[in-house]
Chains A and B, each alone.
Chain A
Amino acid sequence: MKHLLSGLGTLGITAAAANSMAQSLAPFLPAAEDGGASASSASRSMQGTGGALLVAQLKASGIEHIFFNPSSGAAPFFDALVDEPKMHLIKALQEGALVAMADGYAKASGKTPFVICARPGFPNSMTQLYNVWKDEIPMVVAVDYVNRATLGEDGFEDADHLENIAHPITKWNWVAQSADKIPEVTRRAFKFASTMPSGPVFLAYPEDILDEEAQASVIDQAKFEVSMKVRPDPDLVEKAARMLLEAQSPLLYVGDEIVRCGAQKQVAELAELLGMPVTRDGGTIGWSKAFPTQHPLYLGTNLREMRYPAHVDVTLNLGGRLAYGERIQPGIKLIQVRMDPTNLARTAPTDVAIFGDLKFTTADLIAALRSMATADRLRQISQERAAKTHEYTTTMRKFRESIGRETWNHSPVSFERLGMELETALDKDACVVAESDSGRKMEDFMSFGGSDKQYFTTTGAALGWGLPAAFGVKLAHPDLPVVSVVGDGAFLFAGPQPLWSYARYKAPVTIIVCNNRSYNNERNRIWNIGGRQFQTGRDMTCYLGDPDIDYAKLASGFGVEGEIVAEPSQLQAALQRAKRATADGRPYLLDVHIERNGIGATSTWHPSYSIAELRQRKV
């Protein structure tokens, strides 16, 4: 800047004019000339062990929490954390739970978490890493790697190309080659994880380079961030708006990217502007509730041939996965908006495929519609359509409520009643972290989205996510009530060891185990095939009773309070006790005995087999 000003002065330009010109050119001048201030604050040279360099770079990447399970190879990394009191170690006792914790944290905070575990434990993380991958959640997962001098010798904890096992479910994997490269590959990992389509990234740091001294630059992650707030192609927006305007029976399909982009308000405005009925990803697909579930335009799950509204002529997919192309019937025009270009127009033939941030694109669609039609015309279009949908959703809501009331006194507790009791007990700003396939129907009786409760789940369906993920959500939102609702099958896949983390870190979460002693929905799906299990009425695979697990007692072993809720009449009082415990800063577990439902639900028969009876000797 100084050289530029003196140069302008020699050209006969006044000091004031030269100063003004220099200011306007400032953004385009090299950073080093700008007094060096921003460059020095963003980048600094550092000497230290590879472990210390990693800690410094994580700090520069904005990491406050490190999700970990210890390993001797990463000792220099943990040593360097001794002098970093603002970076907090969050320990899980198994790698799957570790990754699920980080997933819950990422979904609730919008941040990219860092996970580090021992290399032989890394395969444990695969189920939950798969869930992270399915939901496109940014995450960096790292291990200490075999010493380079002995790599490939099939020695201690050595497997050839361990990094490759992560390949199908990570965006990128890399083995750091030297200590001085640790900050650079770490920055790159965060960048790759967070750019769209986002997802998990795997890093391996050989233990010898974590211990080795080196000089390296530690640079703020901000210098490598790429904004994903992409404005859509205006021509495509105009084309889409025209199709929507001309549609006789348009249908809106919503998905998780709306939540990722914070576009909920704009999407509700667009739906109301055209009076469009709204559906969501089908079944277990989708980890959030992108549209208020109590909104009069909200129909629920998208079906192949919607009976209401009949004769859909245009479907607008805003940020949804739309995995099954067959859902879009021939003759229906399809507009898709995704911030993931890989999965945009992946399966279903698409008439208008728009790549862009959901918030910007929805706002632009609204603006285009308003520019094409007068307010009166838009009102005319929306009013009749919205009134019909309102009538339908009101009828169906009352119908569902009447179905729910019929199960009120069922013992064990029905999912319907659990949903109604939770709706009464929970605050409007609560976060519900759910992993219960059979339990999805309780969501019919609860309100999510908009100004109501937040909802988190996982698309991947690899069980064991819910309990640790709720811990991660609470870590991200310590000031919001968090409730974990998990099936007993899911709970048992998770651990119970996540309860240790709840107790150690005093995570005040209400944990509800829906204990129906069965993989209930799995049995329904298996029997639905109509095979021998269905024909003979023999549940060969899914009954979880015998032994009947006491989850409250199990929690007690970890220092977590809890109780059994065996009867529906006990439920509300138990929920209130849980609320008081969490207000006091303690986790609380409810082992709710839940009814099984569907085909073969009553049967507790299971194949009998005893190893003790096989014995010839009583040893």
Chain B
Amino acid sequence: MHSKAAFHFRKHLLGVCLALLSISFTVRTYAQSAANSLPAGTGRDLVAAACTQCHGLKLIVALRDGPVGWKHFVDDMILRGAQLTPQEADSVTQYLSKNFGPGTSPMQSGLKSEPLPSGDGEKLVESHCALCHDLGRITTVGRSKEEWNNTVSNMMARAGTNVATQDEILTMASYLAAHFGKKSD
């Protein structure tokens, strides 16, 4: 190679290397700082890299949902442009379900709640609903029987298969409608 051409080639190569280093450093720094706010585990870096393209992680950390629920969120985000391959999406869903699923420090509403009134369904509500959120979310609002049925069915479906039988869902909905129903019902 001609010496002048070789000099320019080396200069160009050095420039490309520096540029690539600079890019990877920037990306790593941004993704890493996002990842640091998340619990360790497989899938954490993917969440940090893919989800933060459009929004922060505050909601993800605060939300509790079951594996089916988290999958819905991840699928929805992919349709909105999140760049995750099928395998990566699985990894993200598993990470979210494990770290922000039922039983992992339930969401606190800040609403004061009296103990649940006794009745058929009381224990089911305590053992199922309170896995993701406190009882203040339940006892301070009135919903119709249909609304409670939809809400409980949706929650149990999101939590995954075999979490509650259809009879248990109906028992919980009836209990909630009886004690926390709408005035008109």
Chain A residues in the interface with B (C-beta under 8 A):
248, 283, 299-301, 303-308, 311-313, 329-332, 395-396, 399-400, 402-404, 406, 416, 440-441, 444, 527-530, 532, 534-538, 597-599, 602-605
Contact = CB atoms under 8 A, between A and B. Distances in A.
Rank and list the top 4 A-B pairs by shortest CB-CB distance, nearest first.
Answer: A301-B81, A441-B79, A307-B83, A303-B53
Contact of B81 (A303, A529, A536, A603): A303
Contacts of A303: 53-54, 81, 83
Given A399-B86, A605-B147, A311 B24 contact: yes
Nearest to B158: A602
B20 interface: yes
A330 B62 contact: no
Contact of B59 (A306, A331, A530, A532): A530
Contact of B62 (A329, A395, A399, A530): A530
Interface centre among A404, A535, A597, A604 (most CB of B within 10 A): A535
Interface in B140-185: 140-141, 143, 147, 150-151, 154
B118 interface: no
Contacts of A332: 23
A50 to B, nearest CB: 52
Nearest to B56: A528
A416 B79 contact: yes
A603 B153 CA distance: 12
Given A303-B53, A313-B19, A536-B109, A599 B59 contact: yes
Contact of A535 (B73, B89, B109, B147): B109
Nearest to B73: A598
Contacts of A402: 86
Contact of A305 (B30, B85, B107, B154): B30
17 contacts: A283-B54, A301-B81, A303-B54, A303-B81, A311-B20, A313-B16, A330-B22, A332-B23, A527-B59, A535-B109, A536-B109, A536-B136, A537-B137, A599-B63, A602-B150, A604-B147, A605-B147
Contacts of B16: 248, 313
A597 B85 contact: no
Contacts of A602: 150-151, 154
A605 B148 CA distance: 10
Contacts of B141: 537-538, 605
Contacts of A301: 80-81
A536 B30 contact: no
Contacts of A329: 23, 26-27
A416 B79 CA distance: 9
B27 A400 contact: no
A444 B75 CA distance: 12
A305 B27 contact: yes
Contacts of A330: 22-23, 26
Contact of A331 (B19, B55, B85, B147): B19
B110 interface: yes
Given A307-B49, A529-B59, A535-B107, 11 more contacts: A307-B83, A311-B20, A329-B26, A332-B23, A395-B85, A395-B86, A441-B79, A527-B59, A536-B110, A537-B109, A605-B143
Contact of B26 (A306, A331, A535): A331
Most buried by B among A299, A536, A597: A536
Contacts of A604: 147, 150
Interface in B77-117: 78-81, 83-86, 89, 107-111
A307 B50 contact: yes
A182 to B, nearest CB: 49
Contacts of A527: 59
A396 B85 contact: yes
Contact of A304 (B53, B80, B133, B150): B53
Given A303-B83, A331-B22, A602-B151, A441 B109 contact: no
Contacts of B30: 305
B89 to A, nearest CB: 8
A260 B30 CA distance: 37
B59 A441 contact: no
Contacts of A304: 53
B101 to A, nearest CB: 16
A305 B81 contact: no
Given A441-B76, A535-B110, A597-B72, A603 B151 contact: yes
B58 A530 contact: yes
A447 B165 CA distance: 42
B71 to A, nearest CB: 9
B78 A311 contact: no
A603 B137 CA distance: 12
A532 B27 CA distance: 33
A348 B30 CA distance: 19
B62 A534 contact: yes
A330 B110 CA distance: 42
Contacts of B24: 311
Contacts of A416: 79
Contacts of A283: 54
B52 to A, nearest CB: 8
Contact of A444 (B79, B84, B85, B140): B79
Contacts of B76: 441, 597-598
Nearest to A440: B80
Contacts of A399: 78, 85-86, 89
A304 B141 CA distance: 41
Contacts of B75: 403, 406
